[in-house]
């Protein structure tokens, strides 16, 4: 099979053959915007013919939904918490007879206890992430099928639909917001020093050398918490080996000790001298502060880096570009943009109400409130109001739209046990000893075999 | 409680007093037997049910590949595979073991004696004694969130106080040759207050007349301490010793708050947590790590019980 | 214990206290050394805390821009914000609901077991002591999954827990805390009780005192110092305990106060100064408990009638 040219096609590959064949045909028409509207009728027909249990043309039977829906939310800090509350209030107003009871659990505890939470007494609807993380719980029977809610959805791209689809071809996830990863910089620094955005690896190295001459750390870097450097690995891998290979590597299907992975680490090693040194003792916030204080020139991170910057002028000074091209045959149009959203628990107490809520959360009204509260994320609904976006949000929306392939993030695209217990220590030891690549990748491969075989 | 056999043989009553006949210290009436059974039974039930029963479960799970979802009967029986992987195919394991041992030595040689010393000094009638005690105990009280922040303020490479004052550029948390030492300083800071508190309470149990008697005999304070007080303190010394061992083997939260126990700060407990808690859910593998911890711990328990046994003879 | 022979004590060595007049001067020198040593140590111990407390009074924007080694940006707003955002009033009550019964039960049950072990010579004493002591050494993380499964399987009446199982119930959480802390307390108390003079019990038995009276009227009052010390430690630990609470309770509004600190953190971004302000507030109750109980374990007991 040739390299998939779109995110949609990649995502389609993750779906089992029975359903994938049909969806891919439709999805090739395009992933974004208005095209998706055209695709919906044929998708509906396709669903009817597949082995899935969704009946043809099914829409969620939520018209008579009343009562209380419980929502497990991991948005516990002040601003997002208030935003969730306002969304639920708006939902209650729009649907008389329905109300939402929010169960807020702090982000960290929620994530660490998700296994137990879902097997205990979960709420009807809960906040979660797309990617392997979503498909895993769907395949374990811990999430509810919301294909009927999706059937009525017209404002989401097919790419997002595929990103919400489990291994069995049914939808289990309702996207809410997402944010891209890229190379962030301060416009004022670039304009005052006369820097231009690098398009290729060579340009990046040249720019880095110039920055060093100007007394800047070229690339801010902090990996004390282990996960930020995964983003750098993902970016380089997508540039060196292509999106297709990246996906397959994350799925555990490739040899981690092979030449391709070695080349990623080799390339990274070439860039390490331009990274801020002593990164293993530095948090991402400290690294972001060096960008904020104009001590570093660039920073490879997600758009949440904006949260370190003061709202207003300072945030407006923040801009980003895609990670530069390394191989011209591969290009630079594969990006990462993790999607956050909501799922239905396996046996909700108020199923009709919960599905109504999920439909609402995937819609423009709810997402307008969410993106207003957090200006580092953008809405997934095509009907959302982009007029009120900040400069950075507009750029993010543009960026995601122009990307050909979209990955999630290492800890969302691969098994979490592999990501956290193998890859975090491995990448950290690479940063410590960048020359010992052979033994490092051999160790990763050995552990990968034992984890993926279990 | 049929097994309760009052062992009265070696108890010879001194002077039989009037009214009730003295039948020895271990003699129990019917009511007393019920009372004693309850006193033993209730806490034992709780500990067996909530600590030992799960511990056995954990050991059993260590032979499987269970991922923590659905019934454990879905899991495959792997035999010793997990153990083999831990030993041969898990890079952080051996460093973790080594770090636990270093931890034990440092606590034993520095933190615990320092805590004891402070307790002994503060046990005298001092002006402002309570203020000193509060200062040393304060670190024990603080939540983990604050402890993490405090030491980040000290150790941060770019913004930390230590580097700012000394002008060094050491990466205290990131550089493997320093970060274990940095974590040990922080943990000693907390351990000292804890040991001090236990020891202070123990010192208060020493019969004050002993001290007076020694004074009258002309012994100096130091001599009094080593010849009279320290031997009487044997029970509390054993407590502090065992507590030190326990805390060193279970050491977890400080390195967890620093960097989740990675990059030179691996400890067995953090490896267990990384594998069991959270999304990773390698229950079988994590349980195998926990079983290692259990085995090491039991070695210390056996040593402790042998000391006790020798004493009781 | 070689470090115990430090300067202040050394100074007083070999001075027969019988000759009071001659000893007076070196003793004063010793005292000065002692106070100097303690003051220096106390300052070293306090300094990091003070520094953090000061930082909690500074705005994040200022310290992010200028670093913590700077002067300025002082504000009280972290405390105001922390108080408003973290819902301390509510979570403090949750913490009390968990901590008070858990500490009382832990101390009571461990006193019971310690009393029996220390007081009677049963054949299974050693096994019992081992059972309780070894329980301290088990890492709670390792027991998480079995305990969770067990609690999920145990159904209880709804008046006991609104979830119908021990999961998401305060009593389940309290039971776990008690089970995990009893071992340590029983161990400390049994060692202490063994040191109590045997003659006390002999005369009590001769006077016809039953086990209950020996326990409540004789043993417990004599164990005031270790009980006070243990109460201080247990309050601190159970109050700060967070691991079991978040696993066994599934409703955010049942969480203890420590978790409200996490509500001050974002998914990615954390205002550390705000968290520090919240942490200072959270630490206050445990400090108060320490002050209240301090007298109990530092005031010596007069075992006057019971020379060893």
CA distance B276 to B67: 9
Is there a contact between B24 and C120 (Cβ–Cβ < 8 Å)? Answer: no
Residues in contact with C211: Cβ distance below 8 Å, sequence separation at least 6, in sequence order: B28, B31, B32, B35, B36, B39
The pLDDT of residue C1: 33
Q: How confident is the model at residue B242 (pLDDT cuts 50, 70, 90)?
A: confident
Arithmetic mean of pLDDT over chain C: 84
Q: What angle do CA A32, A127, A100 make, to 5 degrees?
A: 110
Share of chain C above pLDDT 90, in %: 42
Closest alpha carbon to C290 in B82, B201, A375, B154: B201
Is there a contact between C8 and B121 (Cβ–Cβ < 8 Å)? Answer: yes
Residue in B with minimal Cα distance to C257:
B143
Q: How confident is the model at residue A49 (pLDDT cuts 50, 70, 90)?
A: very low
Across the interface, of A104, A121, A289, the residue whose CB is closest to C64 is: A289
Strand partners, A389: none
Is there a contact between A171 and A165 (Cβ–Cβ < 8 Å)? Answer: yes
Residues in contact with A354: Cβ distance below 8 Å, sequence separation at least 6, in sequence order: A69, A124, A125, A144, A344, A348
The pLDDT of residue B9: 40
pLDDT at A358 over 60: yes
DSSP label at A131? S
CA distance B210 to B232: 10
Name the B residues in 222-261 with CB < 8 Å from any C CB: 222-223, 225-226, 230, 232, 235-236, 238-239, 242-243, 246, 249-250, 252
Q: Is the dihedral of CA A432, A436, A438, A443 positive or negative?
A: negative
Arithmetic mean of pLDDT over chain A: 86
pLDDT at A176 over 60: yes
CA distance A12 to B280: 26
Share of chain A above pLDDT 70, in %: 86
- Per-residue pLDDT tens digits for B189-213: 999 999 998 888 888 777 777 777 8
- Chain B residues lying within 8 Å of A429, measured CB to CB: 91, 263
Q: How confident is the model at residue A336 (pLDDT cuts 50, 70, 90)?
A: very high
Is there a contact between B152 and B216 (Cβ–Cβ < 8 Å)? Answer: no
- The residue written with tokens 């995964």 in the block is A230
- Helix or strand or coil: residue B18? coil
**CB proximity B172 to A under 8 Å:** yes
- Per-residue pLDDT tens digits for A57-79: 344 555 678 899 999 999 988 88
CA distance B197 to B115: 8
- Integer-rounded Cα Rg, in Å, for chain B is 25
- Per-residue pLDDT tens digits for A185-217: 999 999 999 999 999 999 999 999 999 999 999
Using an 8 Å CB-CB cutoff, list residues of chain C that contact chain A: 61, 64-65, 81, 84-85, 148, 152, 163, 165, 167-168, 246-247, 250-253, 255, 259, 262-270
Residues in contact with C226: Cβ distance below 8 Å, sequence separation at least 6, in sequence order: B201, B202, B205, C188, C189, C192, C297
The pLDDT of residue C25: 64
Alpha helices (H) in B2-128, listed in sequence order: 30-47, 53-61, 81-88, 93-106, 112-122
Q: Is the dihedral of CA A268, A270, A274, A276 positive or negative?
A: positive
The pLDDT of residue C263: 85
- Chain C residues lying within 8 Å of B242, measured CB to CB: 133, 187
**Which region among A39-43, B142-146, C50-54, C261-265 has the lowest average model confidence (pLDDT)?**
A39-43
**Which region among B39-43, C127-131, C168-172 has the lowest average model confidence (pLDDT)?**
C127-131
pLDDT at B226 over 60: yes
Closest alpha carbon to C135 in C85, C185, C172: C185
- Helix or strand or coil: residue A422? helix
Is there a contact between B205 and C229 (Cβ–Cβ < 8 Å)? Answer: no
CA distance C182 to B46: 9
Q: How confident is the model at residue C299 (pLDDT cuts 50, 70, 90)?
A: low
In this structure, how many other beta carbons lie within 10 angstroms of the beta carbon of residue B238? 18
In this structure, how many other beta carbons lie within 10 angstroms of the beta carbon of residue A432? 15
The pLDDT of residue B313: 58
The bridge status of strand A181-186 relative to strand A296-302 is antiparallel
Cβ contact (<8 Å) for B44 and C113?
yes
- Chain A residues lying within 8 Å of C262, measured CB to CB: 76, 106-109
Q: Is the dihedral of CA C95, C101, C103, C106 positive or negative?
A: negative
The pLDDT of residue B24: 67
Q: Is the dihedral of CA B126, B127, B130, B134 positive or negative?
A: negative
Is there a contact between C112 and C252 (Cβ–Cβ < 8 Å)? Answer: no
Across residues B75-103, what is the average pLDDT? 93
Q: How confident is the model at residue C44 (pLDDT cuts 50, 70, 90)?
A: very high
**CB proximity C17 to B under 8 Å:** yes
In this structure, how many other beta carbons lie within 10 angstroms of the beta carbon of residue A387? 6
Is there a contact between B47 and C179 (Cβ–Cβ < 8 Å)? Answer: yes
**CB proximity A417 to C under 8 Å:** no
The bridge status of strand A296-302 relative to strand A217-220 is parallel
Cβ contact (<8 Å) for B131 and C42?
yes
The bridge status of strand A67-73 relative to strand A125-129 is parallel
The pLDDT of residue A40: 35
Phi first, then psi: what are they for B5, rounded to 5°?
-110, 110
C-alpha distances (whole Å) from A214 to each of A189, A194, A297, B4, C265 are 11, 11, 10, 83, 36
- The residue written with tokens 């970016």 in the block is A235
The pLDDT of residue A8: 52
CA distance A85 to B17: 76
Is there a contact between A276 and A221 (Cβ–Cβ < 8 Å)? Answer: yes
Q: What angle do CA A124, A128, A134 make, to 5 degrees?
A: 100
Q: How confident is the model at residue A42 (pLDDT cuts 50, 70, 90)?
A: very low
Across residues C283-289, what is the average pLDDT? 92
- Helix or strand or coil: residue A379? strand
- Helix or strand or coil: residue C15? coil
Q: How confident is the model at residue A51 (pLDDT cuts 50, 70, 90)?
A: very low
pLDDT at A27 over 70: no
pLDDT at A323 over 70: yes
Strand partners, C265: C270
Is there a contact between A337 and A163 (Cβ–Cβ < 8 Å)? Answer: no
Find how far residue A212's CA is from the centre of its chain: 32
CA distance B118 to B109: 15
> Three-state secondary structure along chain B?
CCCCCCCCCCCCCCCCCCCCCCCCCCCCCHHHHHHHHHHHHHHHHHHHHHHHHHHHHHHHHCCECCCCCCCHHHCCECCCHHHHHHHHCCCCHHHHHHHHHHHHHHHHHHHHHHHHHHHHHHCCCCCCHHHHHHHHHHHHHCCHHHHHHHHHHHHCCCCCHHHHHHCCCCCCCCCHHHHHHHHHHHHHHHHHHHHHHHHHHHHHCCCHHHHHHHHHCCCCHHHHHHHHHHHHCHHHHHHHHHHHHHHHHHCCHHHHHHHCCCCCCCCHHHHHHHHHCCCCCCHHHHHHHHHHHHHHHHHHHHHHHHHHHHHHC
In this structure, how many other beta carbons lie within 10 angstroms of the beta carbon of residue A219? 24
Across residues A380-393, what is the average pLDDT? 92
Is there a contact between B162 and B154 (Cβ–Cβ < 8 Å)? Answer: yes
Q: Is the dihedral of CA A144, A148, A152, A153 positive or negative?
A: positive
- Kind and range of the H or E run holding C170: helix C170-194
Is there a contact between C247 and C54 (Cβ–Cβ < 8 Å)? Answer: no
Q: How confident is the model at residue C23 (pLDDT cuts 50, 70, 90)?
A: low
Alpha helices (H) in A251-328, listed in sequence order: 259-271, 284-292, 313-316
In this structure, how many other beta carbons lie within 10 angstroms of the beta carbon of residue A154? 12
Across residues C85-110, what is the average pLDDT? 94
CA distance A290 to C67: 11
Residues in contact with A202: Cβ distance below 8 Å, sequence separation at least 6, in sequence order: none
Touching subunits for chain A (3+ Cβ pairs under 8 A)? B, C
C-alpha distances (whole Å) from B145 to each of B62, B194, C260, C282 are 32, 19, 11, 10
Find how far residue B60's CA is from the centre of its chain: 25
pLDDT at C138 over 90: no
Q: How confident is the model at residue A435 (pLDDT cuts 50, 70, 90)?
A: very high
DSSP label at A420? I
- The residue written with tokens 């108890």 in the block is B11
DSSP label at A140? T
Phi first, then psi: what are they for A145, rounded to 5°?
-70, 125
- Chain B residues lying within 8 Å of C143, measured CB to CB: 51, 54-55, 57-58
Cβ contact (<8 Å) for B281 and A416?
yes
**CB proximity A117 to C under 8 Å:** yes
**CB proximity A307 to B under 8 Å:** no
**CB proximity A225 to C under 8 Å:** no
- Per-residue pLDDT tens digits for A282-298: 999 999 999 999 999 99
Phi first, then psi: what are they for B96, rounded to 5°?
-60, -45
Phi first, then psi: what are they for B139, rounded to 5°?
-60, -25
């Amino acid at each position: 099979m040739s390299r998939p040219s779109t995110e949609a096609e990649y995502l389609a590959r993750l779906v089992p053959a029975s359903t994938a064949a049909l969806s891919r045909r439709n999805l090739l028409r395009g992933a974004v915007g208005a095209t998706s509207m055209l695709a919906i009728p044929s998708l509906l027909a396709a669903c009817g013919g597949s082995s899935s249990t969704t009946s043809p043309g099914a829409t969620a039977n939520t018209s008579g939904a009343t009562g209380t829906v419980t929502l497990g939310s991991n948005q516990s800090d002040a601003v997002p918490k208030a935003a969730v509350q306002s969304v639920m209030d708006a939902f209650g107003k729009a649907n008389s007879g329905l109300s939402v009871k929010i169960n807020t659990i702090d982000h960290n505890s929620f994530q660490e206890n998700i296994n137990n939470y879902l097997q205990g007494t979960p709420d009807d609807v809960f906040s979660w992430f797309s990617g392997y993380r979503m498909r895993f719980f769907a395949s374990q029977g811990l999430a509810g099928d919301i294909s009927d809610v999706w059937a009525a959805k017209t404002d989401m791209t097919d790419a997002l639909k595929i990103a919400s689809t489990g291994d069995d071809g049914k939808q289990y996830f309702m996207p809410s917001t997402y944010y891209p990863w890229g190379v962030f910089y301060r416009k004022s620094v670039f304009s005052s020093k006369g820097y231009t955005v690098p398009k290729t690896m060579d340009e990046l190295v040249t720019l880095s050398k110039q920055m060093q001459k100007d007394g800047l750390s070229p690339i801010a870097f902090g990996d004390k918490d282990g996960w930020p450097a995964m983003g750098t690995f993902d970016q380089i891998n997508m540039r060196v080996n292509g999106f297709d290979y990246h996906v397959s590597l994350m799925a555990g299907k490739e040899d981690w000790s092979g030449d391709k992975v070695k080349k990623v680490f080799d390339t990274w090693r070439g860039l390490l001298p331009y990274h801020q040194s002593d990164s293993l003792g530095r948090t991402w916030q400290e690294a972001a502060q060096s960008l904020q204080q104009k001590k570093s020139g660039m920073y490879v991170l997600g758009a949440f880096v904006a949260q370190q910057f003061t709202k207003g002028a300072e945030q407006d000074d923040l801009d980003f570009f895609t990670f530069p091209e390394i191989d011209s045959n591969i290009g630079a149009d594969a990006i990462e943009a993790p999607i956050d959203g909501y799922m239905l628990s396996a046996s909700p107490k108020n199923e009709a109400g919960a599905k109504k809520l999920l439909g609402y959360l995937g819609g423009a009204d709810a997402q307008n409130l969410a993106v207003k509260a957090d200006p580092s994320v953008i809405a997934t609904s095509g009907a959302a109001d982009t007029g009120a976006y900040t400069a950075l949000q507009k750029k993010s929306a543009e960026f995601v739209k122009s990307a050909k392939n979209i990955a999630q993030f290492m800890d969302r695209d691969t098994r979490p046990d592999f990501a956290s217990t193998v890859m975090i220590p491995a990448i950290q030891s690479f940063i410590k000893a960048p020359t010992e690549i052979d033994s490092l990748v051999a160790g990763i491969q050995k552990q990968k075999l034992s984890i993926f075989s279990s | 409680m049929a097994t309760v056999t009052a062992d009265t043989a070696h108890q010879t009553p001194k002077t039989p007093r009037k009214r009730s006949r003295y039948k020895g210290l271990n003699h129990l009436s019917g009511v007393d037997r019920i009372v004693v059974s309850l006193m033993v039974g209730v806490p034992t039930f709780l500990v067996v049910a909530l600590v030992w029963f799960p511990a056995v479960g954990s050991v059993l799970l260590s032979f499987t590949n269970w991922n923590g979802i659905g019934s454990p009967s879905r899991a495959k029986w792997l035999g010793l595979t997990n153990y083999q992987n831990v030993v041969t195919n898990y890079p952080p394991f051996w460093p973790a073991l080594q770090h636990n041992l270093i931890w034990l030595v440092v606590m034993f040689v520095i933190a615990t004696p320092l805590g004891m010393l402070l307790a002994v000094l503060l046990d005298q009638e001092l002006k402002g004694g309570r203020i000193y005690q509060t200062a040393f105990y304060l670190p024990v009280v603080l939540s983990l969130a604050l402890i993490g922040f405090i030491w980040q303020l000290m150790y941060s490479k770019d913004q930390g106080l230590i580097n700012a004052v000394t002008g060094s550029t050491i990466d205290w948390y990131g550089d493997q040759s320093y970060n274990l030492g940095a974590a040990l300083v922080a943990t000693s800071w907390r351990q000292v207050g804890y040991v001090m508190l236990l020891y202070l309470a123990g010192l208060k149990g020493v019969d004050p007349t002993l001290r007076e008697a020694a004074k009258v005999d002309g012994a100096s304070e130091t001599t009094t301490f080593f010849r009279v007080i320290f031997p009487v303190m044997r029970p509390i010394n054993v407590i502090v010793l065992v507590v030190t061992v326990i805390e060193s083997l279970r050491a977890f939260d400080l390195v967890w708050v620093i960097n989740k126990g990675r990059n030179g700060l691996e400890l067995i407990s953090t490896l267990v947590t990384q594998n069991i808690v959270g999304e990773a859910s390698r229950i079988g593998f994590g349980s195998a790590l926990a079983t290692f911890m259990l085995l090491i711990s039991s070695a210390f328990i056996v040593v402790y019980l042998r000391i006790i046994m020798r004493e009781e003879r | 214990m070689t470090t115990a022979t430090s300067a202040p004590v050394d100074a007083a060595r070999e001075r027969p206290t019988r000759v009071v007049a001659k000893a007076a001067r070196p003793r004063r020198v010793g005292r000065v050394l002692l106070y100097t040593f303690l003051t220096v140590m106390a300052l070293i111990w306090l300094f990091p805390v003070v520094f953090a407390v000061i930082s909690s009074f500074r705005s994040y924007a200022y310290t992010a821009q200028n670093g913590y080694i700077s002067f300025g940006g002082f504000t009280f707003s972290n405390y105001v914000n922390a108080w408003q955002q973290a819902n301390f009033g509510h979570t403090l009550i949750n913490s009390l609901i968990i901590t008070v019964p858990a500490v009382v039960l832990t101390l009571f049950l461990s006193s019971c077991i310690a009393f029996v072990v220390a007081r009677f010579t049963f054949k299974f004493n050693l096994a019992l002591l081992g059972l309780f002591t070894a329980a301290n050494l088990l890492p709670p993380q390792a027991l998480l999954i079995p305990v969770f499964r067990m609690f999920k399987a145990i159904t209880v009446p709804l008046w006991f827990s609104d979830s119908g199982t021990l999961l998401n119930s305060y009593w389940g959480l309290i039971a776990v805390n008690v089970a995990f802390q009893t071992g340590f307390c029983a161990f400390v108390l049994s060692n202490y009780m063994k040191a109590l003079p045997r003659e006390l019990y002999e005369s009590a038995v001769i006077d016809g005192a039953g086990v209950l009276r020996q326990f409540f009227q004789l043993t417990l009052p004599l164990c005031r110092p270790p009980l006070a010390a243990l109460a201080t430690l247990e309050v601190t630990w159970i109050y700060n305990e967070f691991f079991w609470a978040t696993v066994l309770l599934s409703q955010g509004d049942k969480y203890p106060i420590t978790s409200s600190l996490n509500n001050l953190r974002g998914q990615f971004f954390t205002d550390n100064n705000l968290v520090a302000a919240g942490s200072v507030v959270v630490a206050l109750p445990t400090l108060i408990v320490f002050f209240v109980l301090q007298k109990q374990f530092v005031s010596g007991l007069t075992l006057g009638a019971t020379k060893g």
